[in-house]
Amino acid sequence: MAVKKQFSSFEEMLANTPRPVLVDFYATWCGPCQMMAPILEQVSGELGDRLQVVKIDADKYPRLASQYQIQALPTLVLFRNGEPVDRIEGVQSAPQLLQYLQSRLSLQG
């Protein structure tokens, strides 16, 4: 499942995670973001051994949202080795997101 963790810095969290990280930039008031919550739970359940899912409230962390040029919510950013490698904006169905992520994760080897 998507994990709510405290970390001293976003960069530290990325650096200390051996798996790719899928970051969900969301807001509590965002309807489409709420639709993504159960989809991300499913993705985390199916890919949890290969991928970590992290949720970041763009309203609480505006510096991060600005740093990664988040202009639409929800935006999913895939990080590998601490660097953003891909992004998806808007709601995705679970099968779409799983297929996309599985193809991206298989590229890492």
* Catalytic center residues: 30, 33
Task: Find out whether 101 and 47 touch, Cβ atoms under 8 Å.
Answer: yes
Instruction: Tell me how far apart the alpha carbons of residues 106 and 109 are, in angstroms, rounded to a whole number.
Output: 6
Q: Residue 62, Cα to own-chain centre: how many angstroms? A: 16
Residues 58 and 89: beta-carbon distance below 8 Å: no
